[in-house]
Structure 1
Amino acid sequence: MKQNRMILILSLLLAAMVTWFLMWRTGMEARERMQEHLAGQVLRFHILANSDSEEDQALKITVRDRILDYLKEEMPETKNAQETARWIRRHVDELEEVGCRTVEEQGYDYPVNAAVTTCWFPDRTYGDMTFPSGNYEALRVELGDADGHNWWCVLYPSLCFQDASNAVVPEEGKQQLKNVLTEEEYAHMTTEADFQIKWYFWERWKG
């Protein structure tokens, strides 16, 4: 009798583990499909500082601001991420010039390299949205040795904000993104962000 009960318990545990694994695997596959679809709809901006020194990090922010100002003034309204990437590729020399001029004005002589390329990004929460980890096309700007912490945003649709203390994603950009994603995909991005924000404050409160 005792042996039969033990066999039943083990069978139930095994069934629960198999069910959990299948659910986890299905969730991971759905997440991967969402990321691949999302990656085709956005163009990110990725700028890497020369180092993690206070001076190099401040320089990174200054270069970031100048490049975003240039794009805001010069880049015409685009219809999708691919069109945005094509325009930036045609003007990458001008973007490098903006970066180099800014670096020189700040009293440094670091080289500046800019290119539209595919980069791997970890999970990133941006305002009230979470972008899942994976490969994304991005305007990548490297300052000097590019060994310092990076800064990123989304150029298309326009989700960039420059005030880190007031991380509010522009509503127009959110609506553009919502138009190219399914309801489930969009809800997943905002739900994950809400979870991560709550977890962050829980950890801070515990500490």
Structure 2
Amino acid sequence: MDRTDSIYCIDKHTNRIILILAIIIASFITGVIAWHMNLTAQAKLQEHLAQEVLRFHILANSDSEEDQALKMDVKEQVLAFLKNSMPDGMDVEETEEWMRRNTDKLEETGKKTILLAGKDYPVSAAVTTCYFPEKTYGDVTFPAGNYKALRIEIGAAKGHNWWCVLYPNLCFTDATNAVVPEEGKEELKNVLTEEEYSKVTAQLNFKIKWYFLDKFDPDTRR
């Protein structure tokens, strides 16, 4: 092989490396753009959802088996009170205002349930803004972000929590099989665009994660 052939081989090899690097860089840039667009779309969806829903958040006194069971008893009694007492046909703003006017009755419902169990934990109820991680209710997934919620705290409120969506009603009708009411999903569909509704009810999880992150589910913590 003469000198000309050697130079030609080197140039050909160099060009191949440059092409591979160019493809890698282009793929990385495309991925970053797609990632950014996905985050932007998720943020817009979350902002709209936050204006249209009212969530329910109840925190147990502790993680003891007894306190966790008591939390579920309080949850059941509060939901029963809401079902029997809330007027029909309210929108999200009216629902929120009704909750604010009736926090004392919600606290009383919780306290009675706790006293019947032989405990004397204090109970506080308030409509407030809370951060929620991504959460799935049956086949409806809400992106992470800040949402208004009826928040009930039992005692020290340091235990695992429970939550659902009060408006529209997505609290499980069948908790064992994670079945949410069809009426609630229809109400949600009415306040979202067709594209937004298809995103929150998608069966596939499109959330982007770095592959090296450990799996961690914070939605059962405070």
User: TM-score scaled to structure 2, two decimals?
Assistant: 0.85
Question: Which has the larger helix fraction?
Answer: 1
**Aligned to 1:195, what secondary structure does the other structure show?**
coil
Kindly report which structure 2 residues correspond to 1:69-84, keeping only aligned pairs within 5 A, or say none.
69-84=80-95
| Structure 2 spans left out of the alignment, 5+ residues | 1-11, 206-222
Kindly report which structure 2 residues correspond to 1:1-150, keeping only aligned pairs within 5 A, or say none.
1-150=12-161
**C-alpha offsets along residues 120-168 of structure 1, whole Å, 9 cap, x if unaligned?**
0011111111111110000000000111111101111111125421321
Task: Assess if the C-alpha contact under 8 Å between 1:111 and 1:144 holds in 2.
Answer: yes
The one-letter amino acid of 1:186's match is: Y
Task: Assess if the C-alpha contact under 8 Å between 2:126 and 2:151 holds in 1.
Answer: yes
**Aligned to 1:147, what secondary structure does the other structure show?**
coil
User: TM-score scaled to structure 1, two decimals?
Assistant: 0.91
Aligned match of 2:163:
152
Aligned match of 2:6:
none
Task: Assess if the C-alpha contact under 8 Å between 2:174 and 2:180 holds in 1.
Answer: no
Q: Number of residues paired by the alignment?
A: 194
Structure 1 runs (4+) deviating above 3 angstroms are: none
| Structure 1 spans left out of the alignment, 5+ residues | 197-207
Change (3 A) 1:126 1:50: same
**Aligned to 2:170, what secondary structure does the other structure show?**
coil
**Aligned to 1:160, what secondary structure does the other structure show?**
coil
State the identity as a percent: 59
Aligned match of 1:180:
191
**C-alpha offsets along residues 55-88 of structure 1, whole Å, 9 cap, x if unaligned?**
0010000000111111111110143211100001
Give the alignment's Cα RMSD to 1 decimal.
1.0
Deviation at 1:8, TM superposition (A): 1.4
Aligned match of 1:204:
none
**Aligned to 2:63, what secondary structure does the other structure show?**
coil
**C-alpha offsets along residues 163-182 of structure 1, whole Å, 9 cap, x if unaligned?**
42132111111000001001
Aligned match of 1:203:
none
The one-letter amino acid of 1:111's match is: P
Task: Assess if the C-alpha contact under 8 Å between 1:65 and 1:162 holds in 2.
Answer: no
The one-letter amino acid of 1:20's match is: G
1:195 lines up with 2:204 in the alignment: yes
